[in-house]
Amino acid sequence: MRTRLVVVPLLVGLMGGCGEKQGADPKAKSTFSQEGQASYYARSFHGEKTASGEIFNQNELVAAHKTLRFGTRVKVTNLDNGKQVTVRIVDRGPFEPGRIIDLSRVAAGKLDLLEDGIVRVKIEKVE
Give the tens place of pLDDT for each residue, 11-27: 333 334 333 333 444 45
| Per-residue confidence band for 30, with pLDDT thresholds at 50, 70 and 90 | low
The pLDDT value recorded for residue 127 is 83
Q: What is the DSSP string of 60-111?
A: SSEEE-SSSPTT-EEEEEETTT--EEEEEEEE----STTEEEEE-HHHHHHT
What is the dotted CATH code of the domain comprising 29-126? Answer: 2.40.40.10
The pLDDT value recorded for residue 82 is 97
Stated pTM of the model: 0.75
Which residues have CB under 8 Å from 115's CB, separation 6+?
A: none
The pLDDT value recorded for residue 29 is 56
Give the burial class of 86: count Cβ atoms within 10 A of its Cβ; 0-12 exposed, 13-18 middle, 19 or more buried.
middle
